[in-house]
Structure 1
Amino acid sequence: MKHEKNIKAANGYVMLMVLLLLIVGVITGMVITENPLFLILILPIILVIKGFFIVNPNSSKVMVLFGAYKGTVKENGFLWANPFYSKQRISLRARNFYSERVKVNDKIGNPILINVILVWKVSDTYKAAFDVDHYEDFVRVQTDAAVRKLAGSYPYDNFAEGQLEVTLLSGMDEVNEALENEITERLAIAGIEVMEARIGYLAYAPEIASSMLKRQQAVAIVAARKKIVEGAVGMVEDALMKLSEDKIIDFDEDKKASMVSNLMVVLCGDKEATPVINTGTLHS
């Protein structure tokens, strides 16, 4: 497989002086000798004119002579090369690509919407010009394919507490690194350098977004309740121990069970407790 070859073109201003000399010579010869044979020199004048071209900063010209790749000119300025060269312009500037949102299934089958932000540039003009058709379209298609593959490799999120699996939502650093590696591998054939690739948008598809929101809320409520219960049990245990140590009241099993029940209701309830004054005994 061939690779890019840099070549140096002639200075355009020097060739412009040569062109002017040819034009002056033709005109002077025709005026002095009145010989029409000097018109033959019009052909080399046209060829010299066809050889001029301009290369802007961070741009290049791929030179092809009758189907044979001759090299790439990356030098900036007003230049001249073989007039029979065909010259294809390829930009070397960094470009942003913001892909469209695509709907795909994550690892566990949930439909999600996802897109990617890609920063890329051409690093090998030969591959970009000749190894693929329309390298800009190639970047778009392969990026879309990489995003679809990535989305199917990770779940959107973990719902069970304690799971260490990397997800699209929580493992952004690792996921973005995997995405960048995947796109880099796919675009290498086109001589494209991936400067940065990251997920730009991530959400559940509209048809399940409401259900997943309720599921996330339920998981959050269960986790919060679990913490509340753990804290309440510790507080009840401390209260019973303090009352016993200070000999404020002696508890039999029935009294202890009743107090634990009341304390748990007060501590774990989501509403303020309503005090009740008992004027009799605990068993009345």
Structure 2
Amino acid sequence: MTTTKAWHVNGFLALLLSLVSLAGGIALLVIGGDRPEPNGLLITAGIVLILLFFVLLTSFTIVQPNQAKIITFFGKYKGTITDSGLWLVVPFSGKGKVSLKVRNFNSQTLKVNDAEGNPIEIGCVVVFKVVDSAKVVFDVDNYGKFVEVQSETAIRHIAANYAYDTFSENDTTPSLRGNADEVSAELTRDLQNRLSIAGVEVLETRLTHLAYAPEIASAMLQRQQATAIIAARQKIVEGAVTMVESALNQLKDNGIELDGERRAAMINNLMVTIVSDRAATPVINTGTMYG
């Protein structure tokens, strides 16, 4: 089922003609029945004009902005009207309305497993609108419910393809937490494929909630903290080695030569001072006592 344009004419002109028809019919009935011998032809014409007026009344429809009217005639689809205003359509036809406005759907918080099997909680918002009114009305039972079910299905499918997060700087694998734009774009494509049958266009999708499930949240927080501490320590050690090397080179450039034992002691002291997370307490050697 695809949308086609329904036959329709200016409703204001048709309204004027219907009023003229009503007035003419009443006038003919009065004239035809007011004679000594009633004129059957005039009375018949008057009745026909009045009946025409009531038939035209069934043909009027009003289309609001950003709204579509589905015209059906005794069970047959005749077309869709999207132009706003007052229109005259096929008499005795059904006139169902469909909103073409942009709508939001905020999904529930779903509990799913990510690519690594960790239970996570995830939710998203879907921005969509109707672009094919015939498909919306005739191809699905309730397009709002259809969007809701397909959105949750797409979220579960996307969440299963990505890990919640990566725990290594060298790991370039996309994750739900680190690649939100990429995940949203893939979710939009997947959801659009699912909703095409319903005549719905997905404008945008965004993750609104992302967290570990409560039963593993504490353990994952400790893992993240440990990973952050290790990464910080690696940076500190790299910096400490550079600083010690620079200190030794400056001493050498100034003509101060240290033997192997003193170099080792100096390196040890500098590394402990720089790497330690607490302030170093120096021990001053004031000499050696001999008994």
Calculate the TM-score normalised by the size of structure 1: 0.91
Residues 95/108 of structure 1: CA separation in 2 closer, same or farther (3 Å cut) = same
The alpha-carbon deviation at position 184 of structure 1 amounts to 0.7
Measure the CA separation in 1 of the matches of 2:155 and 2:263: 60
What's the offset of the Cα at 1:255? 2.8
- Aligned to 2:287, which of 254, 275, 280? 280
SS of 1:178 mapped into structure 2 = helix
For structure 1, list consecutive stretches of 5 or more residues without a partner in the other structure. none
d(CA) in 1 for partners of 2:7 and 2:110?
A: 45
Give the superposition deviation at 1:141: 1.0
Partner amino acid, structure 1, of 2:8: A
Deviation at 1:53, TM superposition (A): 0.8
> Where does residue 68 of structure 1 map in the other structure?
76
1:100 aligns to 2:95 (yes or no): no
CA contact (8 A) 2:125 2:208 kept: yes
**Whole-Å separation in 1 of the counterparts to 2:208 and 2:110:** 12
Matches for 1:207-222 after TM superposition, within 5 Å: 207-222=215-230
Deviation, 1:178, is: 0.5
Larger mean Cα displacement after TM superposition, 230-239 or 35-44: 35-44
Q: Offset of 1:45 from its aligned partner? A: 3.0
Compute the displacement of 1:9 (Å).
0.7
**1:42: Cα distance to partner?**
4.8
Post-superposition CA distance 1:156-209 (Å, at most 9, x none): 110123001011111122111111100110000011111112222222223322
Equivalent residue number for residue 52 of structure 1 = 60
What's the CA shift for 1:40? 6.5
The answer to whether residue 35 in structure 2 is matched with residue 27 in structure 1 is: no
Quote the RMSD (CA, aligned, Å).
Answer: 1.9
* Paired residue secondary structure (1:274): coil
Larger CA deviation: 54-63 vs 24-33? 24-33
| Amino acid across the alignment from 2:71 | M
Unaligned stretches of 5+ residues in structure 2: none
Query: Partner letter of residue 274 of structure 1?
Result: T
Cα distance, 1:220 vs structure 2: 0.9
Correspondence 1:99-118 to 2 at 5 A: 99-118=107-126
Letter in 2 for 1:251: D
In the TM superposition, residue 249 of structure 1 has moved relative to its aligned partner by 4.8
Tell me the distance in 1 between the aligned counterparts of 2:235 and 2:32.
Answer: 107
Partner Cα separation in structure 1 for residue 132 and residue 28 of structure 2? 48
Candidates 232, 255, 273, aligned match of 1:224: 232
Residue 273 of structure 2 is aligned to residue 266 of structure 1: yes
- Alignment of 1:4 onto 2:3: yes
Instruction: Check if 1:91 corresponds to 2:99.
Output: yes
2: CA distance, partners of 1:159 / 1:77: 59
Structure 2 SS opposite 1:166: coil
Of 184-193 and 113-122, the range deviating more from structure 2: 113-122
Contact 1:8 1:75 in 2 (8 A): no
Q: Which of 171, 176, 197 matches 1:168?
A: 176
Distance 1:30 1:255 in 2: 128
Matched, 1:18 2:17: yes
Question: 1:231 and 1:40 mapped to 2: Cα distance?
Answer: 100
Is 1:182 aligned to residue 190 of structure 2?
yes
Once structures 1 and 2 are overlaid, which stretch shifts more, 38-47 or 213-222?
A: 38-47
Deviations 1:190-248 (A, max 9, x none): 11111112222222223322222221111111100001011111222222333344343
Q: State how far apart, in whole Å, the 1-side matches of 2:132 and 2:240 are.
A: 66
**Aligned partner letter, 1:113:** E
Structure 2 residue identity aligned to 1:84: F
SS at structure 2 position matched to 1:182: helix
- CA distance in structure 2 between the aligned counterparts of 1:15 and 1:235, rounded to whole angstroms: 91
1:82 aligned onto 2:98 = no
Paired residues of 1:184 and 1:193 also in contact (CA < 8 A): yes
CA-CA distance at 1:256 after TM superposition:
2.6
**Count of aligned pairs:** 279
